Chain A
Amino acid sequence: MKLFVFKAKDKYIGIESEYIYRIIDDYKITPVCLTPKCYAGLIFYRGELFDVINIRLLLGYSGHLENTYDEPVENQRIIIIKWHNKKLAVIPDEIIGMIWIDGNYEGLNSYRHENKDINLIKPDYIWKKLLELSYGHH
């Protein structure tokens, strides 16, 4: 099993590599008003639109906050994830790389690799968290 690992909020996060569609950098993110703090904006990449999420802000979410992305974000590395019929772009704090893990990790929440605890996250979990946030006027 291959795991794609990145860092966010001092934590190592691993996502199954088959869901990673592309890693892009230096791509213009268009901010969108009335969105939660973690919603960085939209990108139009190779004919498709992606919501861009700052994963650190998403995981550190505490109530509805004003969007801090007032200006286009530049020089960011963006991880594009595609799974089932969904897609999402994620801004990590840092990209670590790919690791191989042995055995069945189904049901595990974390995996220890080189003295680092890697939190195993499924894209559906990120999506669920995003849907819990409020958008627009409330």
Chain B
Amino acid sequence: MNPNSRGRCVLVCVVFIALFSVFSFRLIYLQAIKHDEYAGLAAKKHVYQQIIHAERGSILDANNEVLAHNVPVETVVADATHLNNVDAIIEIVSKELAIPAKQLGEKLNSDRRYIIIKRKVPAATASALREKLHASNLRGIYFEHDATRIYPNGSMLCHVIGFTDFDDRGIQGVEASMEEYLHGQDGYRFVEHNRAGQEIVPYRGQERAPRDGYQVHLTVDLGLQNIVENEIDAAMQQYSPQKATIILMRPRTGEIIAMANRPSFDLNLRSEAKPEQMKNRAIIDVMEPGSTFKIVAAAAALNERKLRPDSSVFCENGLWNFGGAALHDHRSFSYLTVRDILVKSSNIGAAKLALTVGDQKFYEYIRRFGFGERTGIELPGEINGLLRPPQAWSKISITRIPMGHEIGVTPLQMTAAMATIANGGKLVMPRIVKSITTPEGKTISSLSPVVLRQVISPETAKEIGEALRGVVSDSGTAAAAAVPGFVIAGKTGTAQKVDPHGGYEHGKYVVSFAGYLPADHPEFVGLVVLDDAHTSKPELNYGGLVAGPIFSRVAERAARYLDLEPHEEIRKAIPVQRVEKSMPAERGRKPAPVERIALTNASQN
């Protein structure tokens, strides 16, 4: 080979080596250095993360009756890169989903790849659409599994259950407060599609199964709730109040077994509800409690041993000038025992009870009863109520607060305070959630009763309880609240409505009755509140005459439902033979309803 030929060969070799070196470097650059970036881009083109939605947990009552659960629906979406015949798709989809064709066209022709066409499409509609698209060989429309919340009982317990928003996030009631438990954890799956938009199953990537939400069991018993709802509806019909609330609570455990408010709304038609209907007035409405608050003044005076239950207090014959302002009683009383101050509901007597303990001590007792702070119930939006410190009190506040004026409490706070008397002086935190379980029934959390503090001694609680029995007697203010066959304890309240512009509204009252049953071993505490009830005569608008009978009906039905034993003395008073004839064997120890009607607190006190 001559030198020229050899030189040319070397040159060609060098050129080839250089060329392939460039190719090699480029290959290494693409395959090794830029691998992740280009693999990501390729994956982005073909692979996408499919969300597997977790199912929201159900809400159940104490007996596992369903209060809220899910019904499957579908979300119709489009992948713009897979659409093969946009016009035909628009025609079919707009017709099936009842969407204007123009609106759908704008959506599908947008720049986005993932387009949500319609949410919450019923499964049957989605199925029909799927079949039509398949028959027409149209591609690019997909169906994502989703669920919508339904409430089988409609408006029953609506304020407690609450509801969810568009994205299935709880925004009111237990739905909101238990959101972290009810809302499960969505799963995902990386999937790859072919050109036809069908998933290539062997190429499935990383996958995580969803975790469904937990089930929340409430303390509410739907049987009792039904009783309360029926009675509150009857009261609304009879008295047409602006607002009404009834609460039933177990004093020993703090379990709320029924809670109803009016106005209410249908949870399945929540979009039509007005804000006023959605308020859970048991925890967010402030009211002046009226005479029901006298139990606090009496408890303070007795617990501090300033007075005894039979100590006499001069009640100024119905008119007392204190601090430059007159304080009236509804009737003229001269001397009343502490017990009779509660039985007769003397404002002057209650004021004098508070004066015996003084501003600071009385304020301490109000706080110890739980007023001025949230009860801690598992419901969102609870308020503290309105309670000013003694430094902000006027000279006459010490005479007005004992009769339930100049103070704002929530109905639930008032119920908890009455439960304290029923519970031997222990303040128990009200609870609405009983337990949290997995969908398979395994218990995640079971909530125990929480005793917040011993507010008053058991002896004082017993003394107050005995006085409260007298309230529901012929000589008391709430004879109409008596429950046939049972001895009950309770206190009426009639407070003039506060005018938002200052002062009080003439002729408008908030009437209430708080009581418990049976008086010896209370099974439940109840509160009935009616705001601005309309009676045939204005002088009939009293707690004992309006709220008392409602309480009586609720308590009687609740006692039957709970199968409570009638009071021992009443039971003994009933001729055994007559009972045995009218009752089945297992219920033979209980008096017949007809016989029970005549035997109430009235005969006991």
A, B bound: no
Residue positions of A touching B, CB distance < 8 A: none
